């Protein structure tokens, strides 16, 4: 099956329909970066079933749809088609009837993808299998990119096994095996669930059969309960009717008593009302007298308050007079101070005015003297400037010559120093160049470090394997310990549950007999059937129901032959030894029936399954199991579980010890691995350091040689500069001798500078005096202004003080008059108080008389009220008793109705029907109520002891039996299917191993040859590691390029890794050629020589194999070796276009021309 054509429509940047012919030979795809070349490869992956948007360089699968550009709107549909030539009929059976296949994948935005083969919609899995059977697919190694070569290099050995699987052509085999394993696991899971369901249903069937027997007994017991309840209800109905009659008689008597008490209470109430009517008038008189007395007392209190206020006012007047006297004295002092201040300021103002009169003349004289000095100083400055300029010009010339000479001498000195330094550096560089012979020493150190690194890395790998083994041992020990712990927890839970089930009631008070007996395993059912509920009776004589210890009789009858006494198998309490000795165990039902007629009085027979025969003819089958037998089995299970728990606790200690030892070994292994890894890293650091030192020494050698050449050139330049500077210094010495020094100008200049300095001092003194006089004048004027302002302020304060003095004097006179008025008020207040005291005494006498009359009237009222309360109390008690009798009668009637409802609810009958239901002819022979209730309770308790009863058990059992038969048939079908699936998986594994081993030999053979061809020498081979099973083993690549030792792939350089990976990929193609091989810029890391070998190998494989090559490249040499070229351009921004050139036809046309 061959790929013939790739069609794209709306896929990424190929918005228009584009076709790429995939013809025999090598097809090249070229174009600038970003124009859409890789979109062709992604389209090929996508149509072959790629499901990861990340592999499509997108965040969502809808990103493969053209998203629009500046001039093109976005599309909602993308479609990629792939034409296949199936003339050799190697496609899967469902597609193998056609010569040509057209596989298309179409995606609609937000609706997902659909696959079609020849316009027929198929599943994605069908497309995967179609390409997997042809050794290709979306994730096939036949689609090679530069990044994929890096993945092969960095992949783990187990991940590289995929290459061998494709070479063996078992990629589709893996898919089918995976599906078969999923089906197998599903079938096994279903079988386990079905077995669980079958076990559950079997248990349900046994339960339903027991429930059917219980349902029959339950119905008989219900009939007895109905009769007993009818008897009880009849007794209760008769009793209730008698109580109702008695209650009606008592109620009639209480109603007569209430009527008499009501008449007496009315008479007493009339007397009380008359006393109460006279009482308000007396209370009003007493209240008025009390109000008058209260008003007079309030007036006396107000008079006392008035006296206190008068005293406070007098004290306030005295304090105000003292304060005003102080204020008057203060204002008088302020007035005198203001007058004194005004006098002082007037005197100071006169003194300043006198000084101001002569100050103007002094300022004018000082100004004239200052101007005269300024003119003289200006003339001297002009003369001094002229002489200074002349002297400066001559000095500038001398300074310039001196500066130039100094610079030349400095340069000469610097050049000499540089010359000496250069000679010393040349000598040192020469010595350093001689020391470079030690480079061999560094190369030897690097080689030793490389070997040490390899050794430490191997040792670290060994420690890692030890750590993995220790971890596996630790995991195994922990799993075993966990299994034992789980069993222990299960036993503890079972023991706890059994203990809770068995510990019912208060065993310490009345322990039942069953708790004091120990029965051998297997005999629990027999003992339960033999003794039944008697085992629940207590052994304590205080219990209402108990076993009493008696002395065994010596002449007890012997059991029939073939019957073994049950007492031989039961130990514990001796209370029931006599009973157990008369119970025989037989082997089967037939023996029991044979011995049954031979039983003596008190003897019983029982089988291990629970079949029971009693001497008086009572028998029961094994199906009628008892709760006592179950309880005995649970007790034996509890004992056995406790014994198993003890054994498991020993195993737990042993497993914990093993876990601790394995944990310690694992920790030691981790430490050893860390130590080995650290040593490996140290060795790698030493190797890197040695490599750096060797590189540095080589670089230093080259740098030193270059420095020597540069330094010699610099020394030549320094020698030329020294000669030039020597000539300049000679010329400057000649110019310096030609200049003469004028001493007369210098002397005149010095004298003039002294005169000018004196005149400058005089100028400064005159200016200082002039400024001082002006400042003094300004200060005096400012002081005069301040004095005027202060005089004004003091005058204002003097006037204000006089005004305050007059106001305080007036207030003093007013307060003295107020004080005189206050001194007269106490006499008036004393007269008013005497009159008020007399009035209070009269009011007190009147109020006391009114209070006495009111007290007598209230005494009479209380006596009348007491009589009324006593009668009302008696009347209330009588009414309460009447109400109580009425309530009692109502309650009895309610009880009567409730009893009728109970009859309807429980028996669905009327009271008249009760004798018939209870089968009682004469009601005078009814039992008492207590015995009837006990009988009902006993029957109900017996029914409750039966527990829940399923009345539909028989119909449910038949339905369940049909369900079990159906499930049994399904189980047989599942077992057959599982057997077929296991055989299929085994055949697939066997075929896969054979084909994989065969493929490994062929791939290894081709890999050795291709490696030598691509590298021009060296050697390489493949190894299966990590597992003895080829299907689980990893693929390791060992390579030795020319001149290098054998090493793993990851230690080679980038170009060597690329060539080695290509050798492996091409080896796979030679074993199982894929229909197409896509090489996406795999020649990027290769140099021209390796590219030439690579292109030659591709040409040969294209000619010898059926594989068609599609090469995406930027390399000119690779382009030139293609059979045809397709160019991807982006003439319109965001839209890719495809153009083609057939190089073979182009060469033919050129030759014809």
Q: Report the C-alpha gap between 168 and 160 in whole angstroms.
A: 13
Asked, for residue 625, whether it belongs to a domain, the answer is no
Position 634 scores a pLDDT of 66
**The tokens of 683 are what?**
């060795």
User: Of 313-317, 329-333, 446-450, 876-880, which one has max mean pLDDT?
Assistant: 876-880
DSSP H or E segment with residue 107 = strand 100-108
The phi and psi torsions of 49 (rounded to 5 degrees) equal: 110, 20
Range of the domain at 575: 523-607
Between 31 and 573, name the one with better pLDDT: 31
Asked, for residue 535, whether it belongs to a domain, the answer is yes
Burial class (CB in 10 A: 0-12, 13-18, 19+), 737: exposed
Return the exposure string of 927-958: e unless at least 16 CB atoms fall within 10 Å of the residue's CB, then b: eeeeebeebbeebeeebeeeeebbeebeebbe
Position 553 scores a pLDDT of 66
Q: Give 1119's contacts (C-beta < 8 A, 6+ positions apart).
A: 28, 30, 1113, 1125
Question: What number is the average pLDDT over the span 281-298?
Answer: 74
Could you list the beta-strand ranges (E) of 661-789. Answer: none
Position 78 scores a pLDDT of 93
Q: Which of 54-58, 622-626, 696-700 is predicted least confidently?
A: 622-626
Could you list the beta-strand ranges (E) of 1004-1102. Answer: 1019-1025, 1034-1040, 1047-1048, 1076-1080
Q: Report the C-alpha gap between 779 and 785 in whole angstroms.
A: 10
Give 79's pLDDT tier (boundaries 50, 70, 90).
very high
Q: What is the pLDDT of residues 936-978, one digit of tens each?
A: 888 787 777 777 777 787 788 888 888 888 888 888 888 888 8
Q: Report the C-alpha gap between 516 and 593 in whole angstroms.
A: 32
Return the exposure string of 73-109: e unless at least 16 CB atoms fall within 10 Å of the residue's CB, then b: eebeebbbbbbbebeeeebeeebeeeeebbbbbbbee
Which residue is it, tokens 């009858």? 557
Asked, for residue 570, whether it belongs to a domain, the answer is yes
Q: Report the C-alpha gap between 161 and 164 in whole angstroms.
A: 5
Asked, for residue 555, whether it belongs to a domain, the answer is yes
Give 557's pLDDT tier (boundaries 50, 70, 90).
confident
Per-residue pLDDT at 508 exceeds 50: no
Burial class (CB in 10 A: 0-12, 13-18, 19+), 701: middle
Asked, for residue 443, whether it belongs to a domain, the answer is no
Asked, for residue 531, whether it belongs to a domain, the answer is yes
- The count of other CB atoms within 10 Å of the CB of residue 216 is 13
Between 113 and 579, name the one with better pLDDT: 113
Q: Give 1068's contacts (C-beta < 8 A, 6+ positions apart).
A: 141, 163, 164, 166, 167, 1003
Three-state DSSP state, 96: coil
Which residue is it, tokens 């109430």? 269
Give which of 136, 715, 773 is closest to 424, Cα–Cα: 715
Asked, for residue 566, whether it belongs to a domain, the answer is yes
Q: Report the C-alpha gap between 137 and 149 in whole angstroms.
A: 17
- C-alpha distances (whole Å) from 686 to each of 440, 453, 679 are 17, 8, 10
Taken in order 1026, 1027, 1028, 1033, is the CA torsion positive or negative?
negative
Q: Which of 115-129, 160-174, 661-675, 1094-1108 is predicted least confidently?
A: 160-174
Q: What is the pLDDT of residues 734-746, one digit of tens each?
A: 666 655 444 566 6
Q: Report the C-alpha gap between 208 and 391 in whole angstroms.
A: 144
Q: Report the C-alpha gap between 955 and 962 in whole angstroms.
A: 11
Percent of the chain with pLDDT over 90: 4
User: Of 9-18, 201-210, 508-517, 773-782, which one has max mean pLDDT?
Assistant: 9-18
- The count of other CB atoms within 10 Å of the CB of residue 244 is 16
Mean pLDDT (the chain) is 77
Q: Report the C-alpha gap between 62 and 1141 in whole angstroms.
A: 33
Q: How many domains does the chain have?
A: 1
Asked, for residue 530, whether it belongs to a domain, the answer is yes
């Amino acid at each position: 099956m061959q790929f013939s054509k790739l069609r794209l429509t709306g896929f990424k940047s190929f918005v228009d329909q584009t076709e790429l012919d995939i013809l025999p030979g090598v097809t090249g795809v070229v174009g600038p970066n970003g124009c859409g070349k890789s979109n062709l490869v992604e389209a090929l992956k996508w149509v072959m079933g790629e499901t990861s948007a990340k592999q499509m360089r997108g965040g969502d699968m809808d990103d493969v749809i053209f998203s629009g550009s500046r001039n093109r709107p976005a599309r909602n549909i993308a479609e990629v088609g792939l034409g296949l030539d199936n003339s050799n009929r190697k496609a899967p059976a469902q597609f193998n009837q056609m010569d040509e296949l057209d596989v298309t994948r179409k995606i609609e935005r937000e609706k997902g993808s659909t696959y079609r083969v020849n316009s027929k919609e198929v599943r994605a899995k069908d497309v995967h299998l179609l390409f997997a059977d042809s050794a290709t697919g979306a994730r096939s190694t036949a689609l090679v990119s530069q990044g994929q070569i890096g993945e092969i290099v960095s992949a783990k050995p187990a991940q590289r096994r995929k290459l061998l699987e494709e070479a063996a052509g078992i990629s589709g085999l893996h898919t089918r095996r995976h599906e078969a394993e999923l089906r197998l696991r599903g079938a096994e899971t279903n079988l386990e669930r079905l077995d669980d369901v079958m076990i559950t249903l079997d248990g349900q069937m046994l339960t339903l059969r027991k429930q059917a027997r219980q349902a029959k007994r339950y119905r008989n017991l219900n009939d007895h309960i109905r009769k007993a309840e009818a008897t009880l209800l009849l007794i209760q109905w008769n009793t209730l009717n008698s109580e109702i009659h008695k209650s009606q008689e008592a109620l009639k008597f209480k109603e007569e008593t209430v009527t008499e008490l009501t008449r007496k209470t009315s008479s007493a109430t009339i007397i009380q009302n008359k006393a109460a009517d006279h009482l308000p008038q007396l209370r009003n008189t007493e209240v008025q007298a009390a109000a008058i007395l209260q008003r007079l007392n309030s007036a006396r209190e107000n008079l006392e308050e008035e006296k206190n206020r008068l005293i406070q006012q007098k004290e306030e007047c005295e304090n105000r007079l003292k304060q005003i006297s102080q204020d008057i004295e203060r204002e008088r002092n302020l007035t005198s101070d203001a007058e004194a201040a005004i006098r002082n300021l007037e005197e100071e103002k006169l003194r300043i005015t006198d000084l101001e009169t002569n100050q103007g003349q002094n300022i004018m004289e000082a100004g004239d003297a200052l101007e005269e000095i300024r003119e003289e100083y200006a003339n001297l400055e002009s003369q001094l400037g002229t002489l200074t300029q002349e002297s400066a010009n001559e000095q500038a010339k001398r300074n310039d010559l001196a500066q130039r000479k100094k610079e030349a001498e400095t340069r000469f000195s610097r050049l000499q120093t540089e010359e000496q330094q250069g000679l010393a550096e040349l000598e040192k560089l020469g010595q350093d160049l001689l020391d470079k012979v030690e480079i061999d020493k560094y190369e030897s150190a690097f080689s030793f470090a490389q070997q040490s690194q390899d050794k430490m890395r191997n040792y670290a790998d060994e420690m890692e394997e030890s750590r993995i083994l220790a971890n596996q041992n630790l995991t195994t020990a922990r799993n075993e310990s966990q299994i034992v712990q789980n069993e222990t927890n299960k036993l503890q839970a079972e023991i706890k549950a059994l203990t809770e089930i068995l510990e019912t009631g208060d065993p310490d008070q009345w322990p039942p007999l069953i708790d004091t007996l120990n029965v051998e395993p297997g005999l629990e059912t027999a003992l339960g059937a033999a003794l039944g509920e008697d085992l629940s009776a207590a052994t304590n004589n205080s219990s209402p129901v108990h076993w009493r210890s008696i002395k065994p009789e010596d002449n007890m009858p012997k059991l029939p032959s073939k019957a073994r006494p049950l007492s031989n198998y039961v130990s514990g309490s001796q209370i029931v030894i006599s009973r157990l000795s008369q119970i025989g165990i037989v082997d089967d039902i037939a023996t029991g029936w044979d011995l049954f007629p031979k039983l003596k009085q008190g003897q019983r027979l029982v089988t291990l399954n629970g079949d029971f025969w009693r001497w008086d003819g009572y028998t029961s089958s094994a199906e009628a199991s008892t709760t006592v037998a179950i309880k005995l089995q649970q007790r034996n299970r509890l004992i056995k579980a406790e014994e198993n728990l003890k054994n498991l606790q020993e195993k737990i200690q042993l497993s914990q010890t093993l876990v601790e030892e394995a944990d310690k070994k694992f920790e030691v292994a981790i430490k050893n691995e860390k130590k080995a890894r650290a040593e490996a890293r140290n060795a790698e650091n030493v190797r890197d350091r040695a490599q750096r030192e060797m590189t540095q020494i080589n670089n230093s050698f080259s740098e030193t040689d270059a420095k020597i050449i540069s330094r010699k050139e610099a020394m030549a330049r320094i020698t030329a500069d020294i000669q030039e500077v020597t000539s300049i210094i000679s010329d400057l010495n000649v110019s310096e001798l030609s200049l003469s020094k004028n001493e007369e100008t210098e002397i005149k200049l010095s004298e003039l500078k002294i005169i000018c300095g004196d005149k400058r001092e005089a100028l400064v003194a005159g200016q200082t005096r002039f400024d001082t006089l002006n400042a003094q004048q300004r200060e005096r004027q400012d002081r005069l202004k301040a004095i005027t302002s202060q005089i004004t302020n003091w005058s204002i304060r003097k006037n204000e003080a006089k005004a305050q003095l007059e106001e305080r004097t007036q207030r003093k006179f007013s307060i003295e008059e107020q004080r005189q008025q206050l001194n007269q008020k106490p006499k008036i207040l004393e007269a008013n108080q005497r009159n008020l005291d007399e009035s209070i005494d009269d009011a007190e006498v009147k109020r006391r008389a009114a209070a006495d009359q009111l007290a007598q009237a209230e005494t009479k009222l209380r006596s009348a009220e007491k009589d009324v309360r006593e009668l009302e109390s008696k009347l209330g008690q009588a009414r309460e008793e009447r109400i109580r009798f009425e309530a009692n009668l109502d309650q009895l009637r309610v009880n009567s109705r409730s009893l009728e409802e109970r009859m309807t609810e429980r028996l669905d009958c009327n009271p008249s029907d009760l004798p018939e239901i209870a089968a009682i002819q004469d009601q005078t022979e009814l039992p008492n109520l207590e015995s009837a209730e006990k009988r009902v309770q006993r029957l109900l308790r017996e029914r409750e002891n039966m527990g829940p009863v399923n009345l539909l058990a028989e119909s449910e059992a038949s339905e369940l039996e049909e369900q079990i038969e159906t499930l049994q048939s399904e189980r047989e079908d599942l077992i057959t299917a599982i057997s077929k699936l296991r055989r299929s998986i085994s055949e697939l594994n066997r075929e896969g191993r054979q084909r994989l081993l065969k493929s490994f030999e062929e791939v290894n053979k081709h890999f050795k040859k291709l490696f030598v061809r691509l590298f021009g020498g060296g050697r390489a081979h493949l190894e299966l590691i990590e597992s003895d099973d080829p299907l689980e083993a990893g693929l390791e690549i060992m390579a030795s390029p020319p001149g290098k030792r054998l090493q793993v792939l990851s230690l080679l350089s980038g170009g060597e890794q690329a060539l080695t990976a290509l050798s492996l990929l091409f080896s796979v193609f030679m074993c199982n050629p894929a229909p197409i091989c896509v090489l996406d810029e795999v020649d990027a890391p290769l140099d021209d020589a390796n590219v030439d070998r690579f292109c030659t190998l591709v040409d040969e494989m294209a000619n010898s194999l059926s594989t068609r090559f599609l090469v995406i490249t930027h390399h000119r040499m690779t382009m030139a070796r293609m059979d045809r070229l397709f160019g991807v351009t982006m003439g319109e921004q965001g839209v890719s276009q495809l153009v083609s050139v057939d190089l073979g036809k182009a060469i033919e046309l050129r030759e014809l021309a």
